Amino acid sequence: MDIRIQPRGDIAVVAITGSVDGLTAETLLSTLQGHVQAGHARLVVDLDGVDYTSSAGLRALLATVKEARRRGGDLRLARINPNVRKVLELSGFVTILKCFEGVDEAVDSFAP
Amino acid sequence: MKRVAIVIGAGSVKCAAALGMWKVLRREGIDLDMVVGCSGGSIYAGVMALGYDPETCERLTRELWTPKVTMRRDWRSMLGAFLPKVFGFDGSLGMVHDGPLLEALEPPFGGRTFEEAAIPLHIVATDLHDGGKVVLNRGSVRDAVRASIAIPYVWKPWRIGDRWLLDGCLSDPLPVDVAIREGADVILAMGFESPYPRRIKSATRYAFQVNSIYTNNLLRANYSFHNLAHHAEIIPMLPDFEREIRLFDTDQFPYVIECGARAMEAQLDYLHRLLESPEPAGA
């Protein structure tokens, strides 16, 4: 799994490539949590390059969302591929996270 | 050594995809530590655990699940439900007589017990009187499967011991928690959302439709909870059916099995790495 973080104003766009699973979730969690704890609590996670997520990946995303919201920010998802969307729908994530077709749209959604 | 479980949820013919998943696991030499089944999934969990080879499992389940099992109406039960003062209501309703179903369950499960299963087997049903999830893992496999597939209003509940049991999908359509409680580290969770038919053309179909609504909502709620509340690694196995698979489409078995195998192949590399990794499964 590869994680690239690019700032867009005060929003961080996090592009992930690969699988978010039991072998990679810890890395994702520590990267995202570290970023949020450093004061960057507004995140857009670009899932275009993610082909799969398991329960460990879901737990990492949820922990980050909670931390971001606790600090007044949010984690929003963009460009979710169909396989990952199925898992997010089944696990109810699409009802608690804001999901967008494109990264720009997700970034713009933070505008007041 | 990580303990591997397969959990097969409710889904009638679609559950045959589990046989495709299992074929791939056998080819790869990945042994199962337990199999959990619910509703339609209990049929496949049962045949797999009892030690039949995949081809025999396919034949037995294809012969079991035919429209014949729903063709005989249970007039006595319906009259009792709708004219209780005349015929007496016995506390449950099943529009379909379970005689053909019980006959169909005999070849794979008649006289077979959980104790003789080659792979530890757990079948989930629902207690009619308190709504609780009941995990069956002792005694007659036929009785457990009959209880687990007792679709409300379609078949009457089935009595085991002092409990009347209904379809397991009423309490948990994809019971991954059973595998977690039994100590599984890696859970291959094969679940299916129930289809909504385009037309509801009979009371039986209406019953199926209402059940589908309950079940789909419960599936999402429970799956979400289990994914987030536990530390086992739950690998979702969601076969991609490009064709519509209806309740008795057993002629689609080869296709359904192939879809299950494809879903497993897609996760195989990850599963191997996970099983070989010294790290806990659901970090």
Instruction: Render pLDDT for B98-136 as a digit per residue (tens, 0 to 9).
Output: 999 999 999 999 999 999 999 999 999 999 999 999 999
- A81 in contact with B at a CB cutoff of 8 Å? no
CA distance readout (Å), B83 to A85, B76, B78? 48, 10, 8
A23 falls within a domain: yes
Contacts of B281 in chain A (CB under 8 A): 22
Domain assignment present for A109: no
Q: Are B224 and A22 an interchain contact pair (Cβ–Cβ within 8 Å)?
A: no
Give domain status of residue A80, yes or no.
yes
Does any CB of chain B come closer than 8 Å to the CB of residue A96?
Answer: no
Residue B185's pLDDT is 92
Q: Nearest-CA neighbor of A15 among A41, A37, A35, A45?
A: A45
CA distance B274 to chain A (A): 7
Q: What CATH number is attached to the domain comprising A28?
A: 3.30.750.24
d(Cα A70, Cα A73) in Å, to the nearest integer? 7
Query: Six-digit token pair at B274?
Result: 């996970």
B283 pLDDT above the threshold of 60: no
Which residues lie across from A19 on neighbouring strands? Answer: A52
- B233 in contact with A, Cβ within 8 Å: yes
Instruction: List the helix and strand counts (H, then E) for chain A.
Output: 5, 5
Q: pLDDT per residue over A5-19, tens digit each?
A: 999 999 999 999 999
ipTM of this complex prediction, to 2 decimal places: 0.75
Tell me if A107 is assigned to some domain.
no
Among A51, A61, A30, CA closest to B224: A61
In a domain, A108, yes or no: no
Which residue type, as a one-letter code, is found at position A43?
L
Mutate to test the interface with A, among B192, B193, B216, B224 (most CBs of A within 10 A): B224
Q: Quick check: A55 contacting B, CB < 8 Å?
A: yes
* A24 occurs within a structural domain: yes
User: What is the number of structural domains in chain A?
Assistant: 1
Query: In this structure, are strands B158-160 and B121-127 parallel, antiparallel, or unpaired?
Result: unpaired
Contact B233 A55 (CB under 8 A): yes
Query: If pLDDT is split at 50, 70 and 90, which confidence band does B205 have?
Result: confident
pLDDT at B249: 85
Q: Please give the pLDDT value at position B134.
A: 97
Residues of A in contact with B274 (CB under 8 A): 21-23
State residue B255's pLDDT score: 95
CB contact under 8 A, B232 and A55: yes
Domain that holds residue A25: 2-101
What is the reported pLDDT for B173?
Answer: 95
Identify the closest residue of chain B to A22 by CA–CA distance. B282
Q: Which tokens go with B37?
A: 């089944």
Is residue A19 a part of any domain in this protein?
yes
SS3 of residue B65 by DSSP: coil
Rounded Cα distance between B136 and B127, Å, is 11
Q: Residue B191: its chain A contacts at CB < 8 A? A: 90
The residue length of chain A stands at: 112
CA-to-CA distance for B214 and B35, rounded, in angstroms? 25
Is some CB atom of chain A closer than 8 A to the CB atom of B228?
Answer: yes
Q: Which two tokens stand for residue A36?
A: 């949020």
Pairing of strands B163-167, B158-160: antiparallel
Q: Is A56 on the interface with B (CB under 8 A)?
A: yes
Residue B270 and residue A52: Cβ atoms within 8 Å? yes
A94 lies in a domain? yes
What is the token pair recorded at B143?
């009785």
**pLDDT band, very low/low/confident/very high, at B242 (cuts 50, 70, 90):** confident
Query: What is the per-residue pLDDT across A78-93, written as a single tens digit (0 to 9) for each?
Result: 999 998 999 999 888 8
B283–A25 CB contact, under 8 Å: yes
Q: Taking residues B163-175, report their average pLDDT.
A: 95
